[in-house]
Structure 1
Amino acid sequence: MRVIVMGGTSGIGLATAELLAAGGAEVIVTGRDPEKLAAVKDRVTSAEQVDGTDEEQVAAFLERTGPVDHLVLAFSGGAGALGPLRGLSADAVREAFTGKVIGYLTALRYAQVTGSVTLVSAASARAALPGTAVLAAANGAVERMVGPLAVELAPVRVNAVSPGVVDTPWWSFLPPEQREQQFEAIAGQLPTGRIAAATDVAAAIAYLVGATQVTGTVLPVDGGATAAS
């Protein structure tokens, strides 16, 4: 099994790459940070520096790589668009969409996939939390593209996972003590009673990769946070 994980050097993407590689898959990861790529290269088949927001780089990488069985897109627009809408810059809003929605669509235009595509979204798409309007819009766009793409790209399967709060470096904008307090407060409101680890989401992605009769689906992995939505 040959898999590309774009955005595979940190957080959910890295956990997914490691899980699939441990299962015997040939895993190729991409990322922008040379240090992160160097740290992961011995844990996967290969690691390449690709800026997911640069169409020429993405096109060249996917042409060079050729056909793959599965593609996992785990880009992140970062936390720059987190906060009240009126306090955000136009650049922060653009980055949220460019880094994720446009990045995913660009990769999908060039990828040569024979089996499945799995997109990483976020539960903000289906929640109503102050300060998350831009994140909700970007992740909502990701989730709404799943159904049309599942039909358009068939027989290639297209699905998404939609994590809630996950303990990853995405939260590094908060000091460690404040982050732990935030996680504890959120965990107390979840039916599962705990914050997800990146490995929890990776397991859901691995399921979708192997679930040959599942397509057009958005799978919540949010501890029940959006169970009533």
Structure 2
Amino acid sequence: MSERTALVVGGTSGIGLATARQLHTAGATVHVVGRSKERLEALAVSDPELVGHRADGGDRAQITEVLKTIGSLDWLVVALSGGEGAGPFADLDLDVLRSAFDAKFWGQLTTVQAALPHLAEDGSITLLTAISARTGLPGASGLAAVNGALESMIRPLALELAPRRVNAVSPGLVDTPWWGGLPQDARDAYFAHAAGQLPVRRIAAPEDVAEAVVLAATNRNLTGTVLEADGGLRLVSIN
């Protein structure tokens, strides 16, 4: 694996950062794209072995410039996300939902299209979705729409882009900055409540999901698959 090159877009925090670290530990040269200057500066201090690039995953020109500096690419991981789109459907602001599609759905597709000319014939594409696409969580119809749209493309893309492999990883409840809008005490209370109802009896850490992402990216017999790394959330209803 020492000669492999990976790019993690949305890799300066959470699952993306955990994935970048694990790919590097496995021996790959890992490039990380993020929008935040502050996070990239922090990354240069905490993880100097990772190569940081400042760019917006939704901006094809910016991603193309990054890829020109990288050259050939073996593994593309797109971890672009966003906290918009949740809430009861009757009150859902559709402009906000459009913004959520722009950030995650269109951002991920833009990145993949820009990367294709640089992706090796035996390379892989791994998208980060969410288990909201596969459950009946009240208040998550907007999130389900964004993530379901991405997941619906995995099988046709796996055939169309073959022999390149295309997969997605669908996390459940993960303790990441995605929850930053909740006060810490409210987050802790919700996590404790939810963990008691999950089959695994715990809330995932970013590293847990990153292991599934690395598997999807590197296993040469895995394509057209959505890996559910959700702790069993799809099997229960959190009351």
Find the partner of 1:148 among 127, 137, 156: 156
Partner Cα distance (2:147, 2:128) in 1: 9
Partner Cα distance (1:198, 1:55) in 2: 27
Asked whether 1:75 is paired with 2:109, we answer no
Provide the residue aligned with 2:33 in structure 1.
30
- Range moving further from structure 2, 212-221 or 64-73: 64-73
| Cα shift at 1:62 | 2.4
Partner Cα distance (1:63, 1:93) in 2: 32
| Cα shift at 1:54 | 1.8
Count, aligned residues: 228
Partner Cα distance (1:88, 1:54) in 2: 27
Provide the residue aligned with 2:102 in structure 1.
98
Do the aligned partners of 1:187 and 1:194 also contact (CA within 8 Å) in 2? yes
Do the aligned partners of 2:20 and 2:32 also contact (CA within 8 Å) in 1? yes
| Cα shift at 1:162 | 0.3
- Structure 1 residues 19-43: Cα deviation after superposition (integer angstroms, max 9, x where no partner): 1112221000000000101111252
Gaps of 5+ in 2: none
Alignment of 1:43-62 (within 5 A): 43=47, 44-62=49-67
- Which amino acid in structure 2 is aligned with residue 8 of structure 1? G
Do the aligned partners of 2:58 and 2:111 also contact (CA within 8 Å) in 1? no
Asked whether 1:177 is paired with 2:185, we answer yes
- Which amino acid in structure 2 is aligned with residue 45 of structure 1? L
Partner Cα distance (2:172, 2:114) in 1: 29
| Cα shift at 1:87 | 2.5
- Range moving further from structure 2, 12-21 or 106-115: 106-115
Partner Cα distance (2:94, 2:69) in 1: 35
Provide the residue aligned with 1:19 in structure 2.
22
Provide the residue aligned with 2:137 in structure 1.
129
- Which amino acid in structure 2 is aligned with residue 13 of structure 1? G
Find the partner of 2:114 among 90, 97, 110: 110
Partner Cα distance (1:223, 1:37) in 2: 30
Partner Cα distance (1:29, 1:210) in 2: 17
Provide the residue aligned with 2:93 in structure 1.
89
- Structure 1 residues 140-170: Cα deviation after superposition (integer angstroms, max 9, x where no partner): 0111111011001100100110000100010
- Range moving further from structure 2, 89-98 or 196-205: 89-98
| Cα shift at 1:65 | 2.4
Find the partner of 2:194 among 179, 182, 186: 186
Sequence identity (%): 49
Partner Cα distance (1:120, 1:20) in 2: 16
Do the aligned partners of 2:8 and 2:16 also contact (CA within 8 Å) in 1? yes
| Cα shift at 1:186 | 1.0
Partner Cα distance (2:71, 2:114) in 1: 10
Find the partner of 2:13 among 10, 13, 20: 10
Partner Cα distance (2:235, 2:140) in 1: 18
Partner Cα distance (1:160, 1:184) in 2: 28
Do the aligned partners of 1:63 and 1:110 also contact (CA within 8 Å) in 2? no
Please give the TM-score of this superposition, normalised by the length of structure 1: 0.95
| 2:234 match: secondary structure | coil
- Range moving further from structure 2, 172-181 or 106-115: 106-115
